[in-house]
């Protein structure tokens, strides 16, 4: 705010005053030599001008005194940019002020969206390219291919007292094709000087000018002569920038310790933000080695990808850390941090040093010990699984208060938001432990899939994110073998969730073309992460896990320290199959799954004219059937997949072994043995495939009857799959609305967690479609009836804090939690009474005896049922607790209130970064939107604050799309649909794909209300009267 005001006021200043103002804001302190003219007016008084006139003497004395005062203030503030400037003066490269190639406004505009002023060099250069009838290289969407970086020497000085930094980057570049232009990325940095040299003997290559081209976030150096092909050069750039108060680039965060606010600086470069911290070739293909040096005050420490090689201490309380050279790596995996954290460490059996850095109080409490210990075990697991050693001598885990994502897998320095790595055993639930575990498993997988082998370009980002997401479940199974994560929890948390998104007509292929920087954000969504993981799981299952593992080992070995594309993976996996005598063209199969959007619904029906024959057909599954016909580009007629369909036949007491049928046509006939009148068939055994299964109504009736008689004949995974498929097929109009509700009647006898979890997730969107309707109580009553028996059987947990029981108790405790959550959510009186009693006991005794695994349910239920005093009590506890897991659920509980005034108050407080962390504000708004008493409030707040929200989160992957989806996904009236469309017309810029998905979702909600709501209520009324 203050910086913006200063910029506005400086608009009417003289150019020199602007320069002076910029220097003060950058922290410059009397730069020496030829740089002095660039930053301030030097006294020009000489002896022969001094007269005996007292006024002049007095004036001169006052001037000197003022100069001394200013100098002393600068010294006291420790504003230290002189090292960058001194180096610039010594080497005499092209200067921003000397050759006019970088205009004044560009030199001092650090803020987002502020373009440089007059681009003096660009117009003449562009005229030359116009004469050639070619676009200039800096206007292209990708960097020109005539240069490639080999090595970076990057020297930084971080000034935490005024949140600025300066740097000198020396890039060794190889010229592949002759050119007199050097084009690389730079954004929101103040370029002070540039120098280009061939080698020590040949000397400098004269720089005739340089300029920023903000449209493509590039920096262009114009040379007097062309660089020669097959020769190497050194590019030296001196620059400065702000340590921003945002979430990307090199940004700052803070925390409070012993009543004192402390600051830290940390980087987030993925996907395209390294250019905000230093000029670089910021595309994944440009791998190079890096040598980093960081100068900082001795009260801080610095971290980077590699270990500290040497530290040089200065007398004035500053220290420079020189880090070892990195292997070949992409710019977006580079990282550094300046903080005053402490750490704990451990070492793997192969000698990799693992440290966890966090706030001193968190380290002292042991909040990082769990993460540290499983990290050591997981590195050893991945080394054994992939047969490729971890590539660096150390791995640091850094827990920061503010971060745009759960974590970032920077090679050797992974950064986590505190809520995803710190765990206090005395107050953390099993579900919180699971969240922490899976985030760490994910980021460690990236040390191989991403850091070691990097996708060539962003269109194949799923190659790293899909693998890391899949291995979340494989790696957690290694740590907790009894949890069956890959075979069971994967279904509800990944497969079922992403099929909701991928069933929209506005979905996209998992591999999609990316041309410009703004397109890159679009590919980082759940399609890349979760669909990528689901396709990898399907691939592993039809290949066989051992062959698949062997193929991954070959892929990593062949491409380590380099880049790879999807065809490289397909070819390696095809070769692995050949080694075991199987000949499958993996590319031919998988291209249909990765280059087409969506997924098929397979319908299996009996052939009524031929015994033991079934008819199998496939079509593109889509929720809004109208979208298929109104837009030919979204139609399903041309969509075909090669489908590895597994199928089995069963009866009341037995199910056959599975057979695999490759389905590649619209419709096919297949013979199935032992299929008689009383038998049923079941497709997609254990839900290993990425598709839905539908049946004729007769087969659905047989399956429902089997579940009611003896559900254990059908596997746990398929029971969950039947529930999810039935609810979603009904929602899209493929099935009558009563079929899914009939299926869940068997749940009173279901003792496994997974089918209950699938039912809970499937009921949730249906509940939100109905929760503001007149007849909602009918639906509510039906669900309570299905839950009541199991709720009474399981009861409430005791507050057992013994962590050794976690593994044995996981399935049972998660089932109990799921049933209690459903009972309280739908209004079970005993559940409400129990929650209120537990909250009251906490308030009266100030001792929290609420069982850990249901605290979130109890907090939310208590806030919704009880008076404003309870809300204020939870608010107070949110502020006073230092345990991040507790802070998270307390904040979410505040959104459960029925009091609209309190919800409005919370929404307004959410944008105060001192009260609610930036990354948590989105969750507050979304949770209020999920509350039927707050849905319209959150929707109104979203529209009114959109400019603020978009400015804060617009550049951060996921965050805007998560917010847009969360606020709009349960809007379901014509009025709300029109409000959404009108709002989008008013704010056309940014998030176009997220808004188009939102419109389609709300249209589908409105359509369902119109076509199916009454059918559902009629069946419910009939069912409840019988």
Q: How far apart are CA 744 and CA 747, in angstroms?
A: 5
- Which has the closest alpha carbon to 371: 300, 447, 438? 438
Local structure of residue 797 (DSSP, 8 states): P
Q: Which residues pair with 212 in a beta bridge?
A: 219
Structure-derived torsion over alpha carbons of residues 482, 487, 490, 495, reported in degrees to the nearest 10: -170
Query: What residues act catalytically?
Result: 443
- Using an 8 Å Cβ cutoff, are 673 and 612 in contact? yes
Q: Which residues pair with 681 in a beta bridge?
A: 649
- Which has the closest alpha carbon to 780: 721, 831, 822? 822
Residues near 59 by beta carbon (within 8 Å), at least 6 away in sequence = none
Residue labelled with tokens 């292209």: 140
Neighbours of 13 (CB within 10 A): 12
CA 665 to chain centre: 37
- Using an 8 Å Cβ cutoff, are 277 and 154 in contact? no
Q: What are phi and psi of 595, to 5 degrees?
A: -100, -10
DSSP class per residue in 146-210: TEEEEEEEEEEEEETTTTEEEEEEEEEEEESS-EEEEEEE--S-EEEEEEEES-TTT-EEPEEEE
Q: What are phi and psi of 402, to 5 degrees?
A: -125, 130
Q: How far apart are CA 522 and CA 462, in angstroms?
A: 12
Residue labelled with tokens 């709720």: 791
Neighbours of 5 (CB within 10 A): 9
Determine whether 949 is exposed, middle or buried from the number of CB atoms within 10 Å of its CB (0-12, 13-18, 19+): buried
Q: Is 501 helix (H, G, I), strand (E, B) or coil?
A: helix
Q: What is the pairing mode between strands 659-663 and 692-695?
A: unpaired
Q: How far apart are CA 359 and CA 400, in angstroms?
A: 8
Q: What are phi and psi of 610, to 5 degrees?
A: -140, 125
Residues near 729 by beta carbon (within 8 Å), at least 6 away in sequence = 601, 692, 694, 735, 739, 740
CA-to-CA dists, residue 95 to 92, 179, 221, 428, 483, angstroms: 8, 22, 12, 56, 62
């Amino acid at each position: 705010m203050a910086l913006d005001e200063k910029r506005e006021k400086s608009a009417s200043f003289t150019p020199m005053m602007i320069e002076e103002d910029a220097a003060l804001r950058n922290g410059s302190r009397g730069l020496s030599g030829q740089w002095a003219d660039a930053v301030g007016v030097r006294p020009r008084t000489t002896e022969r001008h001094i007269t005996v006139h007292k006024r002049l003497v007095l004036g001169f004395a006052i001037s000197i005194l003022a100069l001394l005062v200013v100098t002393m203030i600068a010294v006291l503030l420790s504003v230290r940019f002189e090292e960058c400037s001194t180096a610039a003066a010594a080497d005499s490269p092209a200067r921003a002020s000397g050759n006019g190639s970088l205009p004044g406004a560009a030199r001092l505009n650090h803020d987002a969206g502020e373009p440089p002023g007059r681009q003096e060099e660009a117009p003449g250069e562009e005229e030359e390219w116009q004469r050639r009838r070619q676009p200039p290289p800096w206007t292209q969407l990708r960097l020109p291919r005539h240069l490639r970086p080999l090595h970076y020497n990057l020297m930084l000085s971080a000034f935490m007292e005024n949140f600025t930094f300066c740097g000198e980057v020396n890039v060794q570049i190889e010229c592949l094709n002759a050119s007199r232009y050097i084009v690389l990325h730079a954004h929101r940095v103040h370029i002070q000087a540039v120098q280009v040299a061939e080698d020590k003997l040949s000397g400098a290559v004269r720089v005739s000018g340089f300029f920023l081209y903000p449209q493509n976030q590039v920096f262009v150096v114009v040379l007097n002569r062309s660089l020669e092909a097959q020769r190497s050069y050194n590019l030296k750039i001196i620059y400065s920038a702000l340590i921003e108060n945002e979430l990307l680039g090199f940004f700052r965060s803070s925390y409070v310790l012993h009543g004192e606010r402390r600051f830290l600086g940390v980087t987030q470069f993925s996907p395209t933000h390294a250019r905000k911290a230093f000029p670089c070739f910021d595309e994944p293909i440009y791998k190079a080695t890096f040598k980093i040096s960081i100068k900082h005050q001795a009260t801080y420490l610095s971290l980077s990808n590699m270990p500290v090689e040497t530290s040089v201490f200065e007398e004035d309380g500053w220290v420079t850390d020189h880090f070892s050279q990195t292997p070949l790596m992409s710019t977006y995996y580079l990282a550094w941090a300046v903080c005053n954290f402490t750490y704990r460490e451990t070492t793997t059996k192969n000698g990799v040093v693992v440290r966890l850095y966090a706030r001193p109080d968190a380290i002292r409490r042991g909040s990082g010990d769990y993460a540290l210990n499983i990290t050591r075990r997981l590195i050893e697991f991945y080394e054994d699984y992939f047969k490729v050693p971890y590539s660096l001598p150390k791995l640091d885990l850094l827990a920061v208060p503010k971060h745009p994502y759960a974590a970032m897998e920077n090679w050797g320095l992974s950064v986590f938001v505190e809520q995803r790595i710190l765990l206090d055993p005395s107050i953390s639930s099993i579900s919180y432990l699971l969240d922490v575990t899976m985030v760490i498993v994910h980021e460690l997988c990236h040390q191989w899939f991403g850091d070691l082998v990097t996708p060539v370009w962003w269109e194949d980002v799923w190659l790293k994110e899909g693998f890391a997401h899949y291995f979340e479940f494989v790696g957690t199974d290694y740590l907790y073998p009894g949890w069956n994560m890959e075979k069971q929890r994967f279904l509800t948390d990944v497969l079922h969730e992403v099929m909701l998104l991928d069933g929209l007509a506005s979905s996209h292929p998992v591999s999609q073309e990316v041309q410009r920087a703004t397109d890159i954000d679009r590919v980082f969504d759940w399609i890349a992460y979760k669909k990528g993981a689901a396709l990898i799981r399907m691939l592993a299952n039809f290949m066989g896990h051992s062959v698949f593992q062997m193929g991954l080992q070959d892929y990593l070995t062949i491409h380590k320290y380099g880049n790879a594309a999807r065809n490289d993976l397909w070819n390696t996996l095809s070769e692995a199959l050949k080694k075991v005598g199987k000949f499958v063209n993996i590319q031919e199969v998988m291209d249909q799954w990765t280059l087409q959007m969506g997924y098929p619904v397979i319908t299996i029906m009996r052939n009524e004219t031929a015994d033991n024959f079934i008819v199998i057909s496939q079509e593109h599954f889509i929720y809004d059937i109208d979208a298929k016909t109104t837009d030919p580009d979204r139609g399903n007629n041309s969509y075909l997949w090669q489908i590895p369909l597994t199928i089995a036949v069963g009866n009341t007491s037995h199910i056959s072994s599975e057979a695999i049928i490759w389905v590649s046509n619209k419709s096919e006939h297949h013979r199935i043995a032992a299929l008689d009148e009383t038998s049923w068939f079941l497709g997609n055994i254990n839900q290993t495939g990425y598709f839905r299964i539908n049946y004729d109504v007769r087969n659905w009736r047989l399956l429902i009857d089997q579940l009611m008689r003896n559900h254990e004949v059908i596997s746990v995974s398929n029971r969950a799959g039947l529930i999810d498929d039935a609810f979603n097929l009904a929602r899209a109009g493929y099935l009558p609305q009563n079929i899914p509700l009939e299926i869940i009647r068997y749940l009173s006898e279901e003792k496994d967690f997974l089918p209950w979890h699938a039912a809970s997730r499937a009921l949730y969107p249906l509940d939100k479609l109905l929760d503001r309707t007149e007849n909602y109580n009918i639906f509510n009553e039906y669900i309570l009836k299905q839950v009541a028996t199991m709720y009474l059987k399981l009861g409430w947990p005791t507050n057992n804090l013994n962590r050794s029981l976690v593994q044995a108790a996981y399935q049972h405790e998660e089932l109990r939690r799921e049933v209690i959550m459903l009972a309280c959510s739908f209004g079970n009186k005993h559940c409400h009474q129990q929650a209120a009693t537990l909250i009251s006991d906490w308030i009266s005794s100030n001792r929290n005896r609420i069982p850990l695994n249901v605290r979130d349910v109890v907090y939310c239920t208590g806030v919704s049922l009880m008076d404003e005093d309870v809300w204020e009590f939870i608010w107070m506890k949110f502020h006073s607790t230092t345990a991040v897991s507790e802070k998270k659920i307390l904040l979410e509980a505040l959104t459960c209130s029925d009091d609209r005034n309190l919800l409005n108050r919370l929404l307004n407080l959410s944008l105060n970064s001192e009260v609610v962390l930036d990354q948590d504000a989105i969750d507050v708004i979304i949770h209020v939107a999920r509350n039927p008493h707050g849905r319209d409030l959150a929707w109104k707040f979203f529209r009114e604050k959109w400019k603020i929200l978009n400015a804060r989160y617009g550049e951060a992957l996921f965050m805007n799309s998560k917010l847009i989806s969360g606020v709009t996904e349960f809007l379901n009236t014509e009025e709300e649909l029109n409000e959404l469309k009108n709002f989008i017309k008013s704010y056309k810029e940014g998030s176009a794909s997220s808004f188009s998905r939102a419109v389609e979702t709300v249209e589908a909600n409105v359509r369902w209300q119109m076509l199916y709501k009454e059918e559902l209520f009629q069946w419910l009324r009939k069912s409840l009267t019988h």
